[in-house]
């Protein structure tokens, strides 16, 4: 990965350090059909109102666990859409200055239990990146290594 004019950087997703794993939510019954979901009397607003005004600590923990589980599913689905050659926008990363940068996926690798995308930033994003990290002034397109789930295909 030592192309002339190309740098390298690694970004992390928030919480990718030593966070504890949230257990899955217990489901007493199978998932409802799409018809049942659309016929539900619960709206997002009523769920939020319940959480804010009535939920006890145990209920809030279940909601957070369900939310974390859903986010993991959505991130995995996003990662599955990433292919070499795809143009992507980076999202959900720390450091935050990486979010919004755009480029082309030039390589996908599996590291531990996740897929890593090597993204060759476009010139505008490389300039933005250089405001936050020192890179060779001759670099026109900088490489970053990020979890594929943080890449939104454009």
* Position 75 in a domain: yes
Q: How high is the pLDDT of residue 113?
A: 86
Q: What is the mean pLDDT of residues 52-59?
A: 94
The DSSP line for 40-58 is: -S--HHHHHHHHHHT--HH
| Residue 140 domain flag | yes
Q: Which residue has the tokens 């997703």?
A: 13
Rounded Cα distance, 14 and 139, in Å: 28
Domain count, the chain: 1
Averaged confidence pLDDT in the chain: 82
User: DSSP class of residue 27?
Assistant: -
| Assigned domain for 9 exists | no
Domain that holds residue 67: 34-153
pLDDT digits (tens, 9 = 90+) for 17-44: 433 333 333 334 444 444 444 446 788 8
Does this model's pTM top 0.75? My answer is: no
Cα–Cα distances (Å) from 134 to 63, 99, 116, 139, 145, in that order, read 41, 17, 23, 11, 16
CATH number at residue 123: 2.30.30
Residue 2's contacts (CB-CB under 8 Å, 6 or more residues apart) are none
Residue 61 belongs to a domain: yes
CA–CA gap between residue 25 and residue 12 (Å, rounded)? 26
- Convert the pLDDT of each residue in 121-150 to its tens digit: 999 999 999 999 999 999 999 999 999 999
DSSP string, 60-114: HHHHHHHHHHHHHHHHHHHHHH--TT-EEEE-S-BSGGGTT-EEEEEEEEEETTE
């Amino acid at each position: 990965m030592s192309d002339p004019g190309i740098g390298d950087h690694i970004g992390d997703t928030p919480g990718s350090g030593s966070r504890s794993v949230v257990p899955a939510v217990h489901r007493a019954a199978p998932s409802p059909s799409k018809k049942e979901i659309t016929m539900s009397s619960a709206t997002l607003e009523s769920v939020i109102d319940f959480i804010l005004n009535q939920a006890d600590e145990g209920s809030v923990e279940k909601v957070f666990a369900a939310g974390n589980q859903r986010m993991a599913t959505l991130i995995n689905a996003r990662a599955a859409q990433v292919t070499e050659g795809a143009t992507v926008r980076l999202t959900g990363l720390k450091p935050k200055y990486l979010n919004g940068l755009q480029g082309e996926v030039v390589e996908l690798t599996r590291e531990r239990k996740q897929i890593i995308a090597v993204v060759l930033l476009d010139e505008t994003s490389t300039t933005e990146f250089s405001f936050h990290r020192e890179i060779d002034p001759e670099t026109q397109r900088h490489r970053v290594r990020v979890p594929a789930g943080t890449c939104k295909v454009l």
